[in-house]
Amino acid sequence: MMEYAIEAEGLVKRYGDKVALNGVDLEVRAGEVIGVLGPNGAGKTTTVRILATLMRPDGGRARVGGHDVVRDPVRVRSLIGLTGQYASVDETLSAAENLVLYGRLLNLPRRQAKARAAELLERFELATEADRPLRTFSGGMRRRLDLAASLVGDARILFLDEPTTGLDPHTRNQLWEVVRGLVHDGSTVLLTTQYLEEADQLADRITVVDRGRVVAEGRPGELKRRVGGQIMHVRPTLPADLDAVTAILTELTGHAPAQDPGAGLVTVPAADPMLVSALVRRLESAGITADELGLRLPSLDEVFLALTRQDAGTRRVAA
């Protein structure tokens, strides 16, 4: 019985007296893309390393492809592909040699390892660079090779730790296409990312991790709705009115608005659509005109900030 491709329950990990994971739960169905989001140090890489059997948890349990990561690491490794946060390939070898080496490590016969390497180099648009030593590769080329390396073994479950960090928009799009292709072919993908747009584009579900705990979980749209419904925004005609607008919004919503002086914009979460007419009246009586005013759904960036705000007291969605 294999209901989930990835399943973790109460994962705990300590480094000395530093608690990196403090009870992480995850459930990922086969064929899903899950995006794990969190600020620096949240515990994303630690979670990936435990699931990929590179590190043992101090507490809790996890199963990948139905196999326990601690009791059955060899079985787990035969099912997964892992792309590290830092490319983990040999600098002195060429791109093709690196991929063949991976294939050999996975016990592919030499001929098959070569064929697989050629196929992957083609797919990642690296065929013309196949024989160049890796140390002459740019960051984006390394990332592509790193992802290719994780696919040598025909893995059905892929862990991608910040696969597109530092890539230009074109290369990032290229990787997104590759990931979509993999999912289309039935792979399960767990990816960590700092880019909310990436999670929005790729992930079926998002798990937000903060300080070693899951603070929210759901589809991107659900998370947006859960975080205070909508965002009210006002752009006063005169930048000098920013503070007055901020004061009015604070009074109306009971929340501290965010000011963006560069954009001349004040924004605040607003649960009640009726607030717009109240706002218009207040602005009128204060003699303030606005170039832009209204309600919109929050962006995933705003969701993320609301969920991982440092002061736990201001967190608006409970775990």
Ligand X SMILES: Nc1ncnc2c1ncn2[C@@H]1O[C@H](COP(=O)(O)OP(=O)(O)OP(=O)(O)O)[C@@H](O)[C@H]1O
- Give the residues lining the site for ligand X (CB under 6 A): 15, 18, 20, 38, 40-46, 85
Q: Is 45 in the site for Mg ion (CB under 5 A)?
A: yes
Measured distance CA(220)–CA(303) in Å, rounded? 9
Q: Is 267 in the site for Mg ion (CB under 5 A)?
A: no
Shortest distance (Å) from residue 41 CB to Mg ion? 8
Question: Please, which residues bridge with residue 158 across strands?
Answer: 81, 189
User: Quick one: 45 or 267, whose CB is closer to ligand X?
Assistant: 45
CA distances from 177 to 36, 40, 115, 204, 259 (A): 19, 26, 22, 15, 36
Place of tokens 């999670």: 199
**Which uninterrupted H or E stretch holds 160?**
strand 157-161
Say which DSSP state 257 is in. P
φ, ψ of residue 284 in degrees (nearest 5): -60, -50
Shortest distance (Å) from residue 161 CB to Mg ion? 6
Shortest distance (Å) from residue 69 CB to ligand X? 16
Q: Is 187 in the site for Mg ion (CB under 5 A)?
A: no
Q: Which does 38 bind (CB under 5 to 8 A by kind): ligand X, Mg ion, none?
A: ligand X
Question: Which residues, numbered 75-114, are part of the site for Mg ion (CB under 5 A)?
Answer: 85
Contacts 24+ apart (CB under 8 A), 75-79: 76/52, 77/52, 77/53, 78/153, 79/155, 79/156, 79/157
Shortest distance (Å) from residue 57 CB to Mg ion? 17
User: Quick one: 129 or 198, whose CB is closer to Mg ion?
Assistant: 198
Q: Which does 15 bind (CB under 5 to 8 A by kind): Mg ion, ligand X, none?
A: ligand X
Which residues bind to Mg ion, rule: CB under 5 A? 44-45, 85
